[in-house]
Amino acid sequence: MEAAAHGTLSIQFMEYDLDNGLHVILHQDRSTPIIALSVMYHVGSKNERSDRTGFAHFFEHLLFEGTANIPRGQYDKYVERAGGTLNANTSRDRTYYYEIMPSNQLELGLWLESERMLHAKVDQIGIETQRSVVKEERKQRYDNQPYGTVLEETVKRAYTEHPYRWSVIGSMDHLDAATEEDYRAFYEKYYVPNNAVLVIAGDFDLDEARHHVNRFFADIPMGTEAIENNRPVEPPLSGEIRDIVYDEIDLPAVLQAYRIPQLGHPDMYALDLISKLLSEGESSRMHRSLVDESQMALAVYNFPMMLEEPGLMLTFCIANMQVDVHKLEKAMDAEINKLKENYISDHEFQKLKNQVETSFINRYRSLTGIGESLASYYTYFKNTSLINSDIKNYLNVTIDDIKRVSNEYLNSSNRVVLHYLPKVTTSSE
């Protein structure tokens, strides 16, 4: 497949910096009268202190509370009253806020995001309320959810030094311990224009947008505190780590997590392809052999965590009834070993590339998707044009690379294995 096939699908954008360091990306598309406006702050759970885990995500909740000019509880109402919607999310590496609005509301969106960046305001009532909201969020997504803790249980064993060792939602005790001073310091350090990228995608006039961006954001003072970039380097695992986690589940599961490099490392493209090869589509290797043929697994998931600093490739299999987890794990290993011992066929390789082509095209389905891609490529690579050229990095992967990379990373000495087992014996009702 030639990359030329994408010539018609390149995303046009312009970008520039304000004097205060805010990076601005504009992508015009006038086919639907809406705009997707977003700000990505380069702060995530990896920037947290080890005694304040969960802080970045908690902070995201607080930044819906209000600003010097927006009373508590009104921020979202402005958006909804204007016919828009809004939300935010936090990862290990960044925090992302967005509004999707009718195209007549560009200025309102810019006002709201500039207020958030300039002078967010949070009172004690807001802090107390959001603390209990986050506690319920934790129960709903982690504690009361079968296998909900799997990522948290994995990272705490896969890392000993690096802040990737805790979950994004973090510790509820740490949230309880946070003080007024913690909030102020976090805001002043990370929520500054020189640590953010503003993206506007959709139906707007370029000159007008530049004018309003300037009006609302240019006067926001630059942050003065250096943002640390010297997190501990995680030493290699000194051998396989195995453990058992008892959970409120009925079917056991096996998790294998291999340590892999960071975003942008040349081997990451091959690893991403390997994960597709193993579990994307019904004909993928693990799906076919574990779910379909042997029926050992009820479900197979496989994904590399593409992180800014070295991450993990996760393989997660839920066992079918009465299947022994050790047998299941052996079958998973067998698939990995095949990758290490044999070259994949040309046919299978072409299938992978066709799947990559489709997934890149699907990224362009929505303005919000395009906006987030633009923001991410800038935040992680300082190279926004990767939105159009990154596919080449995938297409350049060779059959040799697949085998070499499998041998380099997918080794038992480089992984954590967890067996999730039922807490109580199952009654057969």
Partner 1 sequence: MTSRYTLNQKFRTNPPVSGPFPAINIGNFDTHVLPNGLTVIFVENRKLPKVAFQLIINHDPIREGSHAGLADLAGELLSRGTDSRTKAQIDEAIDYVGAKLQSNRSGIFGSVLTKYQSDFLEIFQDILLNASFPIEEFNKIKTRNKSRLQTVRTEPSEMAYNLCSRVTYGETHPYSDVLTPETLENITPNACKNHIVENWRPNCSYLAVVGDFDKDSILRQLDPIISSWLPIEVTKRKYAQPELPEHTRICIVDRPGAVQSELRVVYPIDLHPSNPSRISASVMNHILGGGAFSGYLMSNLREDKGFTYGAYSTLHVDHVCAEFKAVTSVGTDVTVPAAEEIFKEMHRIRNEPVSNEHLVLAKNSMIGSFARSLENPQTLANRVLNMLRFNLPQDFYHRFADNLARITSDEIQQSANNYIFPDRAYLCIVCDYEVLQKELANSFPESSVSRFDHFGRPL
**Site residues for partner 1, window 24-63 (CB under 8 A)?**
31-34, 62
Closer to partner 1 by CB, 165 or 276: give it: 276
Q: Kindly tell me which of 177 and 383 has the beta carbon lying closer to partner 1.
A: 177
Q: Which is nearer to partner 1, 15 or 357 (CB)?
A: 357
- Size (the chain), residues: 429
CA distances from 308 to 22, 92, 169 (A): 20, 9, 18
Contact between 105 and partner 1 by CB under 8 A: the answer reads yes
Segment 191 to 220, residues that bind partner 1, using CB under 8 A: 203, 215, 219-220
Q: Does 184 bind partner 1 (CB under 8 A)?
A: yes
- Dihedral sign of CA atoms 264, 54, 223, 96 in order: positive
Sign (positive or negative) of CA dihedral 147, 152, 153, 155: positive
- Is 299:318 a contact under the CB 8 Å cutoff? yes
For the bound state, the minimum distance from the C-beta of residue 61 to partner 1, rounded and expressed in Å, comes to 10
Residues 373-402 that bind partner 1 (CB under 8 A): none
Task: Tell me 222's DSSP state.
Answer: P
The answer for residues whose C-beta is within 8 angstroms of residue 217's C-beta and 6 or more apart is 18, 20, 22, 24, 110, 114, 117, 193, 198
- List of E strands, 305-367: 312-319
How far apart are CB 383 and partner 1 at their closest, in Å? 24
Q: Does 84 bind partner 1 (CB under 8 A)?
A: yes
- Interaction between residue 189 and partner 1 (CB under 8 A): no
C-alpha dihedral (122, 123, 128, 130), degrees to nearest 10 = -20
232/281 with CB nearer partner 1: 281
Does position 289 bind partner 1 by CB under 8 A? Answer: no
**Range in contact with partner 1 (rule: CB under 8 A) among 151-159, 285-293, 375-383, 389-397:** 285-293
Strands 23-28 and 196-202: parallel
Q: Residues in contact with partner 1, total (CB under 8 A)?
A: 101
Window 297 to 316, contacts with partner 1 (CB under 8 A): 298
Residue 308 or 372: the one with the smaller Cβ distance to partner 1 is: 372
Binders of partner 1 among residues 128 to 147 (CB under 8 A) are 128-137, 139-141, 143-144, 146
**Whole-number minimum distance, CB 320 to partner 1, in Å?**
5
Alpha carbon 324 to chain centroid, angstroms:
33
CB-nearer residue toward partner 1: 147 or 380: 147
What is the helix (H) or strand (E) element at residue 420, kind and residue range?
Answer: strand 415-422
- Report d(CA 152, CA 409) in Å as an integer: 21
- Selected from 205, 250, 324, 341, the binder of partner 1 by CB under 8 A is 250
Q: Are 340 and 400 in contact (CB under 8 A)?
A: no
Is residue 17 near partner 1 by the rule CB under 8 A?
no
The residue among 294 and 411 lying less far from partner 1, judged by its C-beta, is 294
